A and B are shown apart, each in its own frame.
Chain A
Amino acid sequence: MAAFSAVKIFQPNPTAVRSSDNHNNKPFLLGSSSSFLQRSLKSRSPISSISPSRTFISAVSIQEDNKKSLSSSPLNSSSMMITKEEALELYEDMVLGRSFEDMCAQMYYRGKMFGFVHLYNGQEAVSSGFIKLLKREDSVVSTYRDHVHALSKGVPARSVMAELFGKATGCCRGQGGSMHMFSKEHNVLGGFAFIGEGIPIATGAAFTSKYRREVLKEQDVDHVTLAFFGDGTCNNGQFFECLNMAALWKLPIVFVVENNLWAIGMSHLRATSDPEIYKKGPAFKMPGVHVDGMDVLKVREVAKEAVERARRGDGPTLVECETYRFRGHSLADPDELRKPEEKEHYAARDPIVSLKKYLIENNLASESELKAIEKKIDEIIEEAVEFADASPHPPRSQLLENVFADPKGFGIGPDGRYRCEDPGFTQGTAQV
């Protein structure tokens, strides 16, 4: 049961064809009494109105159509069209992610941050490859391993760092912490600390986009939501429940599985009856795509297609990115169960090193240009730490705030005043 067998299983299927989206793209018909979700079903009525046996056959053919896989072309394949600016943006974002997380480890061991801290090292190609394609209005829903997703989406490094330091200047004023990064401004809808928990949230965000477009008739609402989660989550019921609903209602969402092969100490192969996660997409009538998650250009190609499909209103895609975390599950994980050979295998496929090599070999960037980017990132990270360190702790008065949306938290009384009495029972504990 070597972990290497996972690598074999996950090889893209060379016989799989890349489909063009040739199935029904009709706009939704506006019926008079049915809900907008029902209407989306009606738009597929040619299938549902025919005989059961044909329904079954056509379902299978859709499954075949939707079976996608990138040919196993290496990074320098000519099919990968990318401009210099795009490539350098990806490089910068990946270096930012890596350096930020390395700094987090240092700061954690110096006692500047605390609790559970899950680092993203090794998986940068997934975050950068997907999120850098998004518009600001597009949403990202993450997990407890959320720092880098927030950074890729544009949350400044200093406010993520300050959050980790538990400071009032953090993106959640020190009330969220490592696993709960939120930024309304950047449409980072949160890091969710429980397995599977973020998936329904993301599905709900995608539902909202569709509702706004088709029920509220708002213009220019073509927003896409990305739901990030790991291989372990794909055994959780909420994953299946949401694949079903997202496909059923053609929601503008991409389910991004960051399959790093391990759920803490549970090997993916030991936890999952069929380890090829992307195959679960066709079971719900959505495309399932497998991609090498250590290759940012391949990730970007797949992401582009999936995001565009969602934006067009053609529904969700399940994308399985085969990646690897270079550190333990969290900084508290002794990481004793992953074999050294396996770690070496993936360390040799470091996505940042690979991109650097590609950029230089294809004359997209020079050594010195990349050095300059690395130096810039170093300065950003240094500045972030200095900012976080110098920032004030949240004031005592903050403790009772934000329980509710109204400013003081305990509702507005009939006299128009905030009912913010410090309840007697917290006396001595929370004298604000």
Chain B
Amino acid sequence: MLGIIRRKIVTGGVPVSKFGDSLQKQSWVLSRCLSTAAKEITVREALNTALDEEMSADPKVFLMGEEVGEYDGAYKISKGLLEKYGPDRVIDTPITEAGFTGIGVGAAYHGLRPVIEFMTFNFSMQAIDHIINSAAKSNYMSAGQMNVPIVFRGPNGAAAGVGAQHSQCFAAWYASCPGLKVLSPYSSEDARGLLKAAIRDPDPVVFLENELLYGQSFPVSAEVLDSSFCLPIGKAKIEREGKDVTITAYSKMVGYALQAADILAKDGISAEVINLRSIRPLDRAAINASVRKTNRLVTVEEGFPQHGVGAEICASIVEESFGYLDAPVERIAGADVPMPYAANLERLAVPQVEDIVRAAKRTCYRSVAKAANA
């Protein structure tokens, strides 16, 4: 109970953490310039330490999935946790997504706080019944008697060279389902703060990581490294301020958007980059406030375009800020095809930095060079 109160204080401190964000950004810029100041950790370390600290803080938290124990996690996210917490709390399962996801949801009904790892989110398809029908709807159907504090986590989105079945983004799928919270971290700070928030949250959270970001290092402040650190669910982060065009992105695409913003700056276009962090609930307020300032919007996502995250953002802007738009919204998404295997086609099928640059220029009515041939 004390722990819960402590958490409320921490997560309740939204203004403080917002203030922290801007401090954070300054130190990030500084560290980029000086490349010595702040400590850097990888996204993998951020997730590992977040799991470790939450398991240490609350014995009801346990980790379950394929290869999470003796193998240290298929992507080594749970490295060392079996040794530290033992096989009762770090549970290797057989290959039974439907089975172990269902067991996790059942455990959450009875007050435990399972963290269910999918080796990749592609495999969550085999258990989607448990995620949507068992986890997401129980609280409503039981009129609040049966909450389901569970985290479904694992790598999501386009990987490299693994073909159609292993390369896709599920953000829009899960974000369309009421009863779920859907988070998608980009940096180490996001990964730590959001995973801790997800584990402490009383509702089912789908936590979409990205395999290609696991090894990437990001500078982090002392505040981020503190075991009490936690980020609010449902709040986006302005990664870079700008005045000419708003670019929304999540996960790996935030990095691409930041690179695009660098290129645009050289052409005199000041882009504001919003890291969504939370896909559901979506921070409509932050997105609309930004568009009302810049009057232009480019949405970026890796997933399929139709009924995607970008589509939802466009709808929100049309509904709430239509009169502020100075140009049609540009929507950048993965190509509307299953992911091809061949490397050249694969590159064509996911958004690239140049795509974001071109789209942003179009919204600013600047001339755009034609895409190079593959």
Instruction: Let me know if B95 and A428 touch, CB within 8 A.
Output: no
**When chains A and B are docked, how far (Å) is the Cα of A396 from the Cα of B347?**
11
Report the minimal beta-carbon distance from B104 to chain A, rounded to whole angstroms: 15
Docked Cα-Cα span, A425 to B334, in Å, equals 9
B355's partner among A197, A393, A429 (CB-CB below 8 A) is A429
Q: Are A196 and B95 in contact (CB under 8 A)?
A: yes
B117 contacts the other chain (CB 8 A): no
| Cβ-based interface call for A183 (8 A) | no
| B contact residues around A193 at 8 Å (CB) | 163, 165-166
Give a binary string over B202-220; 1 marks a CB under 8 Å from any A CB, 0 the rest.
Answer: 0000000000000000000
Judge whether A177 is part of the interface by a CB distance below 8 angstroms. Answer: yes
Set B92, B126, B305: member contacting A266, Cβ < 8 A: B92
B351–A398 contact, CB under 8 A? Answer: no
Select one of A113, A263, A425, A431 contacting B95, CB under 8 A. A263
Q: Separation in Å of the B179 CB from the closest CB of chain A?
A: 24
Q: Is the CB of B335 within 8 A of A236?
A: no
Is residue A166 within 8 Å, beta carbon to beta carbon, of the partner chain? yes
The minimal Cβ–Cβ distance linking B222 to chain A, given in whole angstroms, is: 34
Contacts of A263 in B (CB 8 A): 94-95
Chain A residues within 8 Å of chain B by Cβ, number = 50
Residues 88 to 129 of chain B near chain A (Cβ within 8 Å): 92, 94-96, 98-99, 122-123, 125-126
**Nearest Cβ distance between residue B176 and chain A, in whole angstroms?**
18
The reply to whether the CB of B354 lies closer than 8 angstroms to some CB of chain A is yes
Mark out the residues of chain A between 215 and 235 whose CB falls within 8 Å of any chain B CB in the assembled complex: 232-233, 235
Which one, B33-41, B139-147, B336-344, is touching chain A? B336-344
Q: How many residues of B contact A (CB 8 A)?
A: 52
From known contacts A426-B335, A428-B332, infer whether A265 and B67 are also in contact, taking CB-CB under 8 Å.
yes
Chain A 173-220 residues near chain B, CB threshold 8 A: 174-180, 193-197
Q: How far is the CB of B313 from chain A (nearest CB, A)?
A: 13
Provide the B253-267 mask, 1 if CB < 8 A to any CB of A, else 0.
Answer: 000000000000000
Q: Which residues of B contact A41 (CB under 8 A)?
A: none
Residue in contact with B122 in the complex, picked from A194, A400, A403, CB distance below 8 Å: A194
- Check A115–B340 contact: CB distance below 8 A: no
CB of B183 closer than 8 Å to a CB of A:
no
- Shortest C-beta distance, A273 to chain B (Å), equals 10
Q: Does B350 belong to the interface (CB within 8 Å)? A: yes
Out of B99, B336, B342, B350, which one reaches A175, CB within 8 Å?
A: B342
- Using a CB–CB distance below 8 Å, which chain B residues touch chain A? 66-67, 70-71, 74, 92, 94-96, 98-99, 122-123, 125-126, 159-166, 305, 310, 331-338, 340-345, 348-352, 354-355, 358-359, 370-371, 373-374
New contact pairs (11) apart from A398-B345, A429-B349, CB-CB < 8 Å: A113-B161, A114-B161, A166-B161, A178-B341, A179-B165, A236-B95, A264-B67, A425-B333, A428-B359, A428-B371, A429-B334
A-B contact pairs, 25 of them (CB 8 A): A114-B160, A115-B159, A116-B166, A166-B342, A174-B340, A174-B341, A175-B341, A175-B345, A176-B163, A177-B161, A177-B162, A194-B122, A194-B165, A232-B94, A232-B95, A236-B99, A266-B95, A393-B344, A394-B344, A400-B335, A403-B337, A426-B305, A426-B335, A428-B332, A429-B352
> What are the 10 A-B residue pairs with the smallest beta carbon separation, nearest first?
A115-B161, A177-B341, A114-B161, A235-B94, A174-B342, A166-B342, A265-B71, A177-B163, A428-B355, A115-B162
Which A residues have a C-beta under 8 Å from some C-beta of B? 113-116, 163, 166-168, 172, 174-180, 193-197, 232-233, 235-237, 263-266, 270-272, 337, 393-394, 396, 398-400, 403, 409, 423, 425-431
